[in-house]
Structure 1
């Protein structure tokens, strides 16, 4: 029995060079993600949360090799896909698929839905035309779309229906792993629930393995098994979902949870306001990148870069203090 994780990300960095002043020779970089490490097991849904600019989407795009990492390893089923060429990566495109945030921008408006869903099967040489059409019909039915959907164009559907098309397209090549990049954030709240319920059903039916990127903590709590909390390109905390929501161990996670709406009055508490703005990823703070907005920061926080360490079974935090929770 293979007990190794399906995805094993090790010490991943992504820096984007930026153009400086024509009168300066100084080279500047955006530190999008820094020293990011985590694993995802088969059949697991892992949530990746954090404020805008925390590096969540960059991690997803780097895993997909839509952008190349600066440093680090991305072990997918034992193969380091960070080191292979784009030609070699083609074989992994079938195994790793993506559901995009904007269900309209990600669909070619000139093509019919059936063509969009079948495109991956054509690229990877799966089946003949009749077999592909039969699979398209099955997938559209699976995601709750009408029988004639394959003959219509994306603009004829609502936002929620377009996201269902995106989900069908991602499933068309029977992937082992899906990166879902904020797949419900562009939808109305009532539609979000419908799409989330669909994803939950598909997870159970197909045994999906998913990296679920989101900024809505309520959505993550509903859908994910474990949660990774990001801030300014670094991981602050990793924990099983229930433990993270019940007993966060990092000040940033505590603040995020305090700001989330709580339908359960027993869980509501005093909101923790993070003072100031997120620092620039061009010149991140020394030591702990969250210290400039942390109410528990001490002088050592400016000197020590905290490493992820296990504080309970399966629960990791990147904070030097153990006296605040």
Structure 2
């Protein structure tokens, strides 16, 4: 992606533990552009959040580098870091924990706006008045209307969906070009998730803001990133990456197919006719003892002694759709996606 706003190049992060070093992220490459959507999916513990925190500059990479507008974060001066912080915003998973419980919605937004004020935006006595007006506009943009009903409320007086909308409005105070949403809908009721995703989509169309959307739910990735890209992570590595329609419609890695097979279907007829993919093991290997060769081979139903257990596969493929699997040519025949799935259709 030539016009990438943020680029991760061979990024790794190793955490020291009592059992030895744990590579939570290993050799991740991602390109994120304004106005685009990239979904990062995988099981819990796959490294999604650590990757997101590295991209946001909240966690330092042990190896590789993160580039903002073509410049490494480590080489940005004070003004460059300020521009980065304004351009890249982070929405946490738990909105109740990420919002200050002692501040009203108005105080949360106005204080953020005043900290991010630019020369000529507000001046003199009108500064706070302009900030309060802008805070009301931001609430309207995230469908908290009329905003006057929310400005004086505290986080505990809001529902989970309303708190997350306030968190989104706070992220918008800096005029971001990229928002990193870390499981931002996982703590919400299913009925609320789609409406929140629609808000994010509307902001993308209105403000040309891009997203790195972290989720473990392939159905949400299909809905939100339908015209974007999806990367699948396993044990800290990206094992498949490509256009969302191809990754979910025709996955090339056995792990991606196993994730799709595990998605529950709303239609009982589809559920009864759906073929389950039997993994060789339900246990995910420890990060301190990652298997040699393909890290998925202890669980993969397609694994062979050679080369799966001996050689680490690299991402290969055509037309921007790549998978790290030695047996990509056989995956359709051995692990077919049967039935008209609500996710893959």
- TM (norm. structure 1) is 0.92
Q: Is the 8 A contact 2:33 2:178 kept in 1?
A: no
Matches within 5 A, 1:130-169: 130-145=129-144, 146-148=146-148, 149-169=150-170
- Asked whether the 8 Å contact 2:13–2:24 carries over to 1, the reply is yes
In 1, distance between residues paired with 2:292 and 2:140? 52
Are 2:292 and 1:289 equivalent residues in the alignment? no
Matches within 5 A, 1:89-108: 89-108=81-100
The alignment partner of 2:288 has SS state of coil
State the Cα distance separating 1:262 from its structure 2 match: 3.2
The verdict on how the C-alpha distance between 1:256 and 1:83 changes in structure 2, with shifts beyond 3 A counting, is farther
Structure 1 residue matching 2:38: 3-state secondary structure: strand
Residue of 226, 231, 234 corresponding to 1:228:
231
CA distances 1:88-145 after superposition (whole Å, capped 9, x unpaired) = 5333111110111101110000011112123332223343222211110100111111
What displacement does 1:82 show?
Answer: 4.5
The whole-number CA distance in structure 2 between the counterparts of 1:86 and 1:319 is 43
Cα deviation 1:154-177 (Å, max 9, x = unaligned): 111100000000110011111011
- Are residue 198 (structure 1) and residue 205 (structure 2) matched? no
Alpha-carbon RMSD across the aligned residues, in angstroms, is 1.9
- The alpha carbon displacement at 1:323 in A equals 2.9
Provide the C-alpha distance between the structure 2 equivalents of 1:323 and 1:73, rounded to a whole number of angstroms: 33
The 1:298/1:16 distance shift into structure 2, 3 A limit, reads same
CA contact (8 A) 1:68 1:82 kept: no
Preserved CA contact (<8 Å) 2:313 2:324: yes
Aligned twin of 1:305? 312
Quick one: which of 25, 30, 40 aligns to 1:38? 30
Looking at structure 1, the residues matched to 236 and 111 of structure 2 have their Cα atoms a distance apart, in angstroms, of 34
SS of corresponding position for 1:150: coil
Distance 1:102 1:66, change over 3 A: same
The answer (yes or no) to whether the contact 1:95–1:176 under 8 Å persists in 2 is: yes
Residue 211 (str. 1) matches residue 212 (str. 2): yes
- Aligned twin of 1:10: 9
Alignment of 1:32-71 (within 5 A): 32-71=24-63
Between the aligned partners of 2:204 and 2:270, the Cα distance in structure 1 is: 30
Matched, 1:251 2:254: yes
Matched, 1:271 2:276: yes
Counterpart secondary structure, 1:236: strand
Structure 1 unmatched ranges of 5 or more: 21-27
Distance 1:297 1:253 in 2: 15
Contact (CA 8 Å) 1:65, 1:82: kept in 2 or not?
no
- Report the Cα distance in structure 2 between the residues aligned to 1:85 and 1:50, rounded to whole angstroms: 35
* Superimposed CA distance per residue, residues 147-195 of structure 1 (whole angstroms, 9 cap, x where no aligned partner): 2212211111100000000110011111011100011000011111221
Equivalences, count: 316
**C-alpha distance in structure 2 between counterparts of 1:123 and 1:15, whole Å:** 34
- Partner SS for 1:58: helix
d(CA) in 2 for partners of 1:271, 1:83: 49
Distance across 2 between alignment mates of 1:283 and 1:86:
40
State the SS of the aligned residue for 1:105.
helix
Matched, 1:117 2:116: no
Q: Secondary structure at the match of 1:180?
A: strand
Q: In the alignment, what sits opposite 2:174?
A: 173
The answer to whether residue 323 in structure 2 is matched with residue 320 in structure 1 is no
